[in-house]
């Protein structure tokens, strides 16, 4: 390779002569096409495309034709980037003006019919836009050539071309030769600058410059690039074909933030294997703005319409330009900076790995570019949408299923997508009933002097748990016991009692006063159908003759619906009337449950309106005891819940019940009890949601809504049966428990659970 000031340089790869204007005082530079070629006219079969992304962009025209054609498969660059991901969403470049600053265009072919902008012009003379060289036609075809049966096509084949012929008059040869290049041309920086201004005036969203120079870009060209990027244009510049460690100085304009504004992409070339082409200039110090695309053996016609296989970064650049046009059509809201950032941000890692100094940001990937990027939110709101879990049902909702919950969500670039949330509504796992009772090593103690009683519940905690589950090798510290819950009740007068509790429920205080406390069954009956952890409670009871009135209040938390989430809070209050008729103690009550961010313990995130519930429960209970030790008891609860959220509301009806029987002294110093119960279950109802279904990019508002019903009534019906036999042994009680559980957690598909447990507890 020979160089000289003010002289010529022969391109080592393409063999074309390039004029380099480096003499002192020259205000413009001469540029050369960054491409090469060969004489082979057939193309190998490209690899298969990867699947199209989901969720789908919105709005997106429904394709009426099959885009996965032999012509698409013959277009190796489109297949490499998976342009099918865009086509299947209706993006083909329609309505997008794409500028090509090069040697002109062969207008005789029908591959660009009705898609050449009237703004197209010769910015270096008055010759018209015809192509003497072939390079411009091949580049324009690679970016936006029309479809032609089984032959290769352009990436954005429906885009409008703004053809900007910039070759210096007389610099191109007329001999076509066998190289497919048709000769060599020179381009001045002044012509490039004029081309950019014409493209900007014509409203081009993307401009392709498959030219290169190692002269310092003059101020006029920098100013034109600055005007173009200020107008929102994406500019793609070929990296150059010298195999150097850095792109040409022309391409390195991308590093000049004051004029490039992050909207200039440098195009490097890879082969079909995904590795960098030997001729391609590497990313080097421009890695932040460098993107690779297929630039080897790219099928495209020359100035006479003859198809050749072209190689060079000249043909990687229009692959990227076409991809930018597809994004611009699919998502009209995107700015030029966002389009460039998306293409760079979603680039896939190079095959076999590779350094940023070689591959820059990676390889063009439209599958990733068309998928949501960044945090998603419900269109028209700030409510977050998760691709994982957006709602978790409570045990009372069991195996209720969601379907048809489709809405429009915006990603981090404010791009609208149709998202089906049905698969992100998670069912609750059945409550573990036996293991907490057996493994928690919970013990209770009650101390009473007649007027005052104190009840404490303690639990064992291993040393590692006391250290927040840290790993302490060889820790020989003994297990520790701590108080986990307790209550105190005080008789103020023969007719009045008051009670306070910590980490214990207010209903437990009342049950002791009203004669509803029963046998110590191993498997608890959750009154709300969901695990709750009371924080504090208080209650007071006063009797008028044979009628007792109790009032209670309680606050607490439900179990966190999603790991890492702060457990949701609730407040509960209730009024209970009790009366004793002979051996029967009866209660009637009403309970109010106010939830901060849940509905009967079910969590519906912002994507579903962050609904919260206000419930009213009607409670009834009766317990009969006779002098011979027989006990019969029943409990009934019906609930009505109003769910209110940002995207809709609804009503739920729920119910739970239990029946039990027992006998003291069945075989001596023993007691036998049997209980059949159904935990709280949603019998009917759900959320009536109003979901955004269409996003208007022009006004940036939701202009379409759809009504969807999320039923929360399960098909499963849990039934819990437990038999308990206890016998006094020493100072404690040895109890044996048998249990059977149908449809655990109200999930019909789960098999029944059955088991046996033996427990010994000391009384003190």
User: Mind listing the pLDDT tens digit for each residue in 47-74?
Assistant: 222 333 356 666 554 556 889 999 999 9
- Provide the 3-class DSSP secondary structure of residue 152: coil
Task: Say what the alpha-carbon torsion angle 313, 316, 321, 327 is, to the nearest 10 degrees.
Answer: -150
Q: Is 336 exposed, middle or buried (0-12, 13-18, 19+ CB in 10 A)?
A: buried
**Per-residue confidence band for 481, with pLDDT thresholds at 50, 70 and 90:** low
- Provide the 3-class DSSP secondary structure of residue 370: helix
Residue whose C-alpha is closest to residue 575's, from 592, 597, 593, 557: 592
- Using CA atoms, how far residue 627 sits from 314, 582, 662, 665, 675, in Å, is 100, 11, 13, 12, 21
Of residues 258 and 518, more confidence is placed in 258
| Antiparallel, parallel or unpaired: β 376-378 and 547-558 | unpaired
* CA atoms 60, 66, 67, 68: torsion sign: positive
**Residue 673 CB contacts under 8 Å (≥ 6 apart), including other chains:** 518, 519, 521, 631, 660, 661, 662, 663, 723, 724, 725
Strand-by-strand arrangement of the 307-311 sheet: 36-37, 307-311, 298-301
pLDDT, the chain, mean: 85
User: Mind listing the pLDDT tens digit for each residue in 541-574?
Assistant: 999 988 999 999 999 998 888 888 889 999 999 9
**Residue 576 CB contacts under 8 Å (≥ 6 apart), including other chains:** 510, 514, 549, 550, 551, 552, 587, 588, 589, 619
- Provide the 3-class DSSP secondary structure of residue 397: helix
Angle at 513 between CA 509 and CA 517, to 5 degrees: 75
Element (H, E) at 298: strand 298-301
Q: Is 687 exposed, middle or buried (0-12, 13-18, 19+ CB in 10 A)?
A: buried
**Residue 153 CB contacts under 8 Å (≥ 6 apart), including other chains:** 71, 72, 74, 75, 78, 145, 146, 147
Angle at 135 between CA 109 and CA 101, to 5 degrees: 95
Q: How far is CA 477 from the centre of its chain?
A: 45
Q: How far is CA 598 from the centre of its chain?
A: 22
User: Mind listing the pLDDT tens digit for each residue in 316-365?
Assistant: 999 999 999 999 999 999 999 999 999 999 999 987 778 999 999 999 99
User: Mind listing the pLDDT tens digit for each residue in 301-319?
Assistant: 998 889 999 999 999 999 9
What is the reported pTM? Answer: 0.79
**Per-residue confidence band for 463, with pLDDT thresholds at 50, 70 and 90:** very low
**Residue 293 CB contacts under 8 Å (≥ 6 apart), including other chains:** 77, 80, 81, 267, 268, 269, 270, 316, 317, 319, 320, 323, 363, 364
User: Mind listing the pLDDT tens digit for each residue in 164-214?
Assistant: 999 999 998 644 433 322 247 999 999 999 999 999 999 999 999 999 999
Task: State the average pLDDT over residues 568-587.
Answer: 94
| Antiparallel, parallel or unpaired: β 496-502 and 532-544 | antiparallel
Reading the block at residue 468, the tokens are 């927040």
Separation between Cα atoms, residue 541 and residue 67, nearest integer Å: 76
Task: Say what the alpha-carbon torsion angle 451, 457, 463, 469 is, to the nearest 10 degrees.
Answer: -130
**Per-residue confidence band for 434, with pLDDT thresholds at 50, 70 and 90:** low
CB 301 within 8 A of CB 138: yes
| pLDDT surpasses 80 at 42 | no
């Amino acid at each position: 390779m020979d160089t000289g000031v003010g002289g010529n340089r022969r391109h080592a790869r393409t063999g074309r002569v390039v004029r380099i204007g480096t003499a002192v005082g020259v205000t413009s530079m001469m540029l050369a096409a960054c491409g090469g070629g060969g004489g082979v006219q057939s193309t190998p079969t490209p690899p298969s495309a990867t699947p199209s992304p989901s969720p789908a962009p919105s709005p997106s025209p429904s394709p009426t034709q099959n885009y996965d054609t032999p012509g698409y498969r013959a277009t190796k660059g489109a297949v490499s980037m998976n342009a099918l991901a865009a086509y299947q969403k209706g993006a083909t470049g329609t309505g997008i003006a794409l500028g090509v600053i090069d040697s002109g265009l062969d207008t005789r072919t029908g591959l660009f019919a009705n898609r050449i902008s009237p703004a197209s012009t010769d910015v270096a003379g008055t010759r018209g836009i015809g192509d003497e060289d072939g390079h411009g036609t091949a580049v324009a075809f690679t970016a936006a050539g029309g479809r032609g049966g089984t032959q290769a096509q352009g990436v954005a084949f429906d885009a409008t071309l703004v053809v900007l012929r910039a070759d210096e008059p007389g610099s191109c040869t007329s001999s076509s030769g066998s190289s497919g290049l048709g000769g060599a041309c020179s381009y001045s920086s002044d012509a490039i600058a004029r081309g950019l201004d014409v493209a900007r005036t014509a409203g081009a969203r993307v401009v392709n410059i498959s030219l290169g120079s190692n002269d310092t870009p003059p101020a006029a060209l920098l100013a034109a690039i600055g005007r173009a990027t200020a107008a929102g244009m994406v500019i793609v510049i070929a990296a150059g074909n010298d195999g150097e460690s850095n792109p040409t100085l022309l391409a390195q304009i991308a590093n000049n933030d004051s004029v490039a504004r992050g909207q200039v992409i440098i195009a490097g070339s890879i082969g079909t294997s995904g590795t960098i082409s030997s001729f391609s200039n590497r990313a080097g110090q421009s890695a932040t703005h460098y993107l690779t695309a297929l630039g080897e053996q790219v099928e495209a016609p020359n100035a006479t319409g003859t198809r050749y296989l072209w190689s060079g970064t000249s043909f990687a650049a229009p692959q990227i330009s076409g991809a930018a046009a597809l994004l611009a059509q699919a998502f009209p809201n995107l700015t030029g900076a966002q389009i460039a950032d998306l293409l760079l941000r979603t680039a896939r890692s190079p095959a076999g790995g590779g350094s940023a100094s070689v591959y820059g940001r990676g390889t063009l990937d439209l599958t990733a570019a068309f998928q949501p990027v960044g945090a998603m939110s419900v269109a028209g709101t700030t409510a977050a949408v998760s691709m994982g879990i957006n709602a978790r049902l409570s045990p009372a909702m069991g195996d209720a299923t969601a379907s048809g919950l489709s809405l429009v969500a915006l990603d981090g670039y404010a791009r609208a997508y149709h998202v089906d949330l049905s698969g992100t509504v998670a069912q609750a796992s059945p409550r573990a009933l036996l293991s907490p009772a057996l493994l928690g090593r919970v013990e209770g103690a009650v101390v009473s002097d007649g007027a005052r009683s104190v009840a404490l519940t303690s639990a064992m905690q291993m040393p590692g748990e006391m250290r927040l589950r840290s790993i302490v090798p060889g820790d020989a510290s003994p297990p520790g016991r701590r108080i986990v819950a307790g209550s105190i009740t005080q008789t103020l007068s023969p007719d009045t009692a008051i009670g306070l509790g910590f980490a214990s429920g207010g209903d437990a205080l009342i049950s002791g006063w009203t004669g509803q406390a029963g046998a110590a069954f191993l498997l608890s009956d959750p009154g709300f159908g969901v695990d709750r952890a009371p924080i504090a409670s208080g209650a007071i009871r006063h009797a008028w003759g044979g009628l007792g009135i109790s009032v209670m209040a309680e606050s607490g938390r439900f179990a966190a619906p999603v790991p890492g989430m702060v457990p949701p809070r609730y407040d509960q209050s209730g009024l209970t009337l009790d009366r004793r008729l002979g051996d029967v103690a009866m209660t009637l009550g009403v309970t109010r449950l106010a939830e901060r961010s849940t509905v009967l313990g079910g969590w519906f995130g912002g994507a579903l309106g962050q609904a919260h519930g206000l419930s009213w429960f009607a409670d009834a209970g009766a317990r009969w005891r006779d002098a011979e030790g027989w006990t019969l008891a029943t409990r009934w609860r019906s609930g009505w819940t109003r769910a209110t959220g940002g995207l809709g509301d609804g009503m739920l009806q729920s119910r739970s019940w239990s029946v039990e029987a027992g006998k003291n002294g069945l075989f001596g110093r023993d007691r036998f009890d049997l209980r059949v119960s159904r935990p709280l279950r949603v019998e009917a109802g759900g959320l009536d949601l109003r979901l955004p279904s269409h996003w208007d990019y022009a006004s940036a508002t939701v202009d379409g809504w759809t009504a969807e019903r999320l039923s929360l009534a399960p098909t499963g019906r849990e039934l819990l049966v437990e038999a308990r036999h206890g016998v006094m042994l020493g100072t404690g009680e040895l109890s044996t428990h048998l249990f059977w559980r149908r449809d655990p957690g109200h999930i019909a598909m789960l098999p029944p659970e059955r088991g046996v447990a033996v427990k010994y507890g000391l009384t003190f």
